[in-house]
Structure 1
């Protein structure tokens, strides 16, 4: 019997439905976490609706799958007072540290052109004597800058300003804000805005044009990113300012206060303003179709190198891919987040799945959508132990400090009070507490721990690798930062002791002027004061001025940490002046002590004042309130 060819084809197709069921995963129409693309809008709507206008003012979300934008939507308000809706195509928002990706792409472009090598020492590319605080003999390479392993301490001063008046050129900004080098290059991951801005300055030196012009010509124009500006004051694209969202800080659920916009001299580190759609166009350029080159690079190999791992503390944990963080998800991810005083952002790529998520919000420090929604779409790593429990070393414990912190400024006190604390939980688990958040980690192999549950702040540190030296923890590594033991004399017990002493001293010098004034009134002005009494009055007043000055300084930094150093320098100088006055008064008292006719009670008060001023000066020196 003859069989019609059409009948055979029909039978084969019919059988394939049962033998090889068609599904969204087989056709590549799923998110990495397994959500069908056909359900993505309903899924995102349901998730975002819980948070928008409750804990976040507004958000734009875009999703890429198989080289297409499969989702684009704005939620909430770009301007609460004007009732202006969020629009991914039109609403301008601050990208924060996502801006750094433009720097790393620029370096890759120049490396591709042979203008530099990523393993080169950066010093020959800089003007002579440009870096004045480098303390190590080992060279700093471009890879060190990209991997945040150049060894620089953090510096909060002169990073960003609420108004554009303080903005200088990139070169001047780098000179003013140069940090100390506190680690050997290549050994410690300490996130560095300075490193990124320094790399952008080298791009200027190599190309002979301002970095913002280079980015405009080599990245924005080829990708038609017409609604994005990198110039720190919007120069040349002032019209975009009219479409910029207001930024907010959450006070309590559904209560937002408007916050300042962010202006930077070191703008390559976090000064880009643009739409979610333009950011998506940039991300799409990093996920070209098979056989096609990225419009950002001439060679596909350059893109492959850019997205490959460039640093990891150990092979058992994720690391860094030339400025992008590796992510332990259902598939290997690459991401970068960003925060300013008023905005937050998140970009997450899954190259093997041809998938990406872009999130921009006008909410400072937002996590539920930036991290929570992203994890919903990209999935989480399945955490399992790789060896028998009895083969694992005992769980670690202790308190540690982030390597990304100021070490030569009074701001270091804030970081000293925010330890990364670890304690054993169960036989094979540890509990980590950081900044008021808690995460539980499972030891999956010797010295490697992976997150099994915890707050969203641990989204970027899902894996820990513990390095030991002489049977003690020498360093704890995550993909985004390292943590080290407290320096001698600076652990939490010491800090608490310092805090108690500081409170007693502060209370004393706030009360003593009142006591002396009452005493003077009772004795009446005709009573002649002794030389020791005069010296004591000057010493006590100096101590009071120092305490009041410190309280004002701390309050100013808590209200707005984004300050120029010039704004706080007068108060630091004031500390030095009144410390000197107190020292002279103390010496005057000691010299005239033998000839004083003071009562025993008065001598006790004099001694207390001398002791407390010495303690105050020591505490101010320890916590660097003179620099």
Structure 2
């Protein structure tokens, strides 16, 4: 009996030894160690935080069903000298909220309370969504950013909680003023309002506020007690964000957004990683089922791409490849100068979350961290490469494809159409030879414009030479279009519609009125000093004054306040000044045109007529770009 017990104990110890040996071998073959991760990330953080002027950051890596590595760097709050702690520091994660909204909506799809292909108006109770040419859009199109909705900018945020609006109230006004701009289901255009509407669909179908629904069905299930859509402004654990100006960090204010489903989530980095674990484990967190496996798979699958050979998008996730060629799912979020990025590597069951509290460098740091971690992974056998060629007609590299391609970040309707003038994402395409393009632009996870070479892969598709990026060129209604490496739809623009041209024309008009006013003031002072009674036109000076006041207030107030909406004094006071000046200009034009006919003071009358015409043209220009209380579109 004693020998038998000794034998059993020896067998048990031996089995443990071989089991641990087996596990160690498996981890060594298919994973990386926390020490490797720490060394790799530390090398980046030790130089890049200071170089990129980032006060603080956190990196969390998950593998399987657990957090494998977690560490904070620098400060979450510079004034209080609070360390960035991924277990305690609460971070606004911006558009990463969209993935949670998508998950919530897909839970309701599982319960047959929402249908991916039904008109969304079937579920909206307190308002109805407007349509493009009576064509309804559905949940699938909202989740894939293909609903055709106009960009929401005006009044999307509030500087105070008291000033924020219920989502259904905001959307009701939005649909009244900004109808959809294209047929649903045909073109990808990243849309905050689409995911704000997804969040509101969850509210209207479930009968719960979105924060309550997420807390009950996601946050509690995934052990995320810090997670909330309600900005915890008085919580000392909330990180602060900064901009680097004139050699010092300047703290940035927080916003309250009227579309919480699109970007209101606040959470600690470690708890955010529980969401990664859930999606990497077929919708389960521990023993809790958040999504059915087939639903999680559907969220990760290709749900829309302009071309089947492109990575495209899923539901709440973008699809892509690491620099090593390994498939990944990813998304980024930016709000109030916080930038976060999540990456899922399904083949390794690895999740990566990187967050920083400064936006000046974009996602450059995130890209360095993610790709450095990816390079640590052992090589894996790749599936047979997807054929890039198709049997359709090849795009011929004629000079027509060369030019500047820009993505429109501005609304088509209402306030903010003029945002186009402030800049847009652009790529410049030039031909190297019969099958090769040089494309200059700022690529994902890069912070400066660079040239990349793309080689023809058949029927409008071009693959990056020595890299993983792809672009697609095609014609739409006679205009060349491009699908950029990050899925953005871009349009070839003529010289007259490029950012610099628009800015120069706007600046020229501004300078004209400012110069006219200054000249009048100088002449008036000289006349007063010399006690000369020579005529100088007060009417033209008044027109110049009205336009100068408008331009000054627009530049210093209108540009920054558009996301909060404009008060009555600005809309019906400041924005009407160009209209008043136009009415005066009409009077000047009539009076001086008559003088030209009679030959009275012909030279002076000619100058005033030209001045009046310039004023009227400028007013029409402002009307077209929706600067005035009455909008062109």
Normalised by the length of structure 1, the TM-score is: 0.83
2:372 aligned to which of 339, 364, 376? 376
CA distance in 2, matches of 1:127, 1:140: 16
How far apart in 1 are the matches of 2:128 and 2:418?
29
Q: Identify the residue that residue 502 of structure 2 maps to in structure 1.
A: 495
Over 3 Å counting, the alpha-carbon distance change for 1:393 and 1:294 in structure 2 is farther
| Residues 118-156 of structure 1, C-alpha deviations (whole Å, 9 max, x = no match) | 111111111375334x33332201011011111122232
C-alpha distance 508-394 of structure 1, shift in aligned 2 (>3 A): same
Contiguous gaps of at least 5 residues in structure 2: 1-9
Deviation at 1:325, TM superposition (A): 0.6
Q: 2:334 aligns with which of 331, 334, 339?
A: 339
Which of 98, 101, 115 lines up with 2:99 in the alignment? 101
Contact 2:408 2:424 (8 Å CA) reproduced: no
Equivalent residue runs for 1:124-523 within 5 Å: 124-127=122-125, 130-132=128-130, 134-178=131-175, 179-231=178-230, 233-234=231-232, 241-251=235-245, 255-288=248-281, 295-297=288-290, 299-329=292-322, 330-365=325-360, 366-378=362-374, 393-394=396-397, 396-409=401-414, 411-416=416-421, 417-418=423-424, 420-424=426-430, 426-427=432-433, 428-434=436-442, 437-446=449-458, 447-451=460-464, 462-469=469-476, 473-486=480-493, 490-491=497-498, 495=502, 498-499=505-506, 501-502=508-509, 505-514=512-521, 517-518=524-525, 521=528
State the match for 2:4 in structure 1.
Answer: none
| Residues 558 and 370 (structure 1), Cα distance of their counterparts in 2 relative to 1, 3 Å cut | farther
Secondary structure of the residue aligned to 1:109 is helix
Deviation at 1:321, TM superposition (A): 0.7
| Residue from 27, 44, 50 that aligns with 2:47 | 50
Question: Which residue matches 1:457?
Answer: none
**Cα displacement (A) at 1:26:** 6.3
- Is the 2:93–2:267 contact (alpha carbons within 8 Å) kept by the matching residues of 1? yes
Distance verdict in 2 for CA 1:322–1:367, change over 3 Å = same
Do the aligned residues in 2 keep the contact of 1:285 with 1:294 (CA within 8 Å)?
no
- Cα distance in 2, alignment partners of residues 266 and 93 from structure 1: 18
Native 8 Å contact 1:346 1:370 kept in 2? yes
Whole-angstrom CA distance in 2 between matches of 1:247 and 1:491 = 33
Quote the residue 1:63 is aligned against. 61
Conservation of the 8 A alpha-carbon contact between 2:514 and 2:544: no
Q: Is the 8 A contact 1:111 1:117 kept in 2?
A: yes
Partner of 1:33: none
> Who is 2:89 aligned against?
91
CA drift of 1:393 comes to 3.7
Instruction: Report deviation, 1:589.
Output: 2.6
CA shift in 2, pair 1:471/1:593, >3 Å? closer
- C-alpha separation in 1, matches of 2:357 and 2:209: 28
Contact 2:595 2:601 in 1 (8 A): no
RMSD: 3.7
TM-score, scaled relative to structure 2? 0.82
SS of equivalent residue, structure 1 residue 483: strand
Tell me how far apart the structure 1 counterparts of residues 466 and 567 of structure 2 sit (CA, whole Å): 44
- The structure-2 alpha-carbon separation of the partners of 1:83 and 1:286, relative to structure 1 and needing over 3 Å to count, comes to same
Task: Describe the shift of the 1:492–1:302 C-alpha distance in structure 2 as closer, same or farther (beyond 3 A).
Answer: closer
Kept in 2: contact 1:223–1:282 (CA 8 A): yes
Q: After superposing the two structures, state which structure 1 stretch, 338-347 or 174-183, moved more.
A: 174-183
Q: Does 1:613 align with 2:615?
A: yes
Partner of 1:550: 551
Contact 1:157 1:564 in 2 (8 A): yes
Moved more, 461-470 or 284-293: 284-293
Over residues 190-211 of structure 1, what are the superposed CA-to-partner deviations in whole Å (9 max), with x where a residue is unaligned? 1111111111111111111111
Change (3 A) 1:526 1:604: same
Compute the displacement of 1:469 (Å): 4.9
Structure-2 separation of matches of 1:219 and 1:28: 30
Structure 1, residues 295-322: CA drift from partner, whole Å, max 9, x if none?
Answer: 3535221111121111111122100011
After superposition, where does 1:11-50 map in structure 2 within 5 Å?
27-30=29-32, 37-50=34-47
Change (3 A) 1:544 1:142: same
Deviation digits for residues 221-257 of structure 1, max 9, x if unmatched?
Answer: 11121112112x54xxx76x221111111236x7321
Q: Does the aligned pair in 2 maintain the 1:406–1:412 contact within 8 Å?
A: yes
Pairwise CA distance, 1:288: 1.6
Equivalence for 1:118: 116
Check whether the contact 2:471–2:482 (CA below 8 A) recurs between aligned residues: no
Segments of structure 1 that go 5 or more residues without pairing to the other structure are: 1-5, 31-35, 455-460
Alpha-carbon distance change, 578 to 289 in structure 1, aligned in 2, over 3 angstroms: closer
Deviation of the 1:292 alpha carbon: 8.6
Cα distance change, pair 386–444 in 1 and its aligned pair in 2 (3 A): farther
Deviations 1:163-189 (A, max 9, x none): 324212111222344433111111111
Decide whether the 8 Å contact of 2:343 with 2:353 is kept in 1. Answer: yes
Contact 1:201 1:211 in 2 (8 A): yes
Cα contact 2:217–2:290 (8 A) shared by 1 = no
- 3-state DSSP class of the match of 2:333? strand
CA distance in 2 between counterparts of 1:109 and 1:166 reads 31
SS at match of 2:264: coil
> Structure 1: which 4+ aligned runs deviate by more than 6 Å?
22-26, 289-294, 380-388, 594-598
Deviation by residue 1:303-350 (Cα, 9 ceiling, x = unmatched): 111211111111221000112111122321111101112211111111
Task: Give the conservation status (yes or no) of the 8 Å contact 1:167–1:263.
Answer: yes
Q: SS where residue 51 of structure 1 aligns?
A: helix
- Could you tell me which of 592, 595, 605 is aligned with 1:593? 595
Deviates more, 1:289-298 or 1:395-404: 289-298
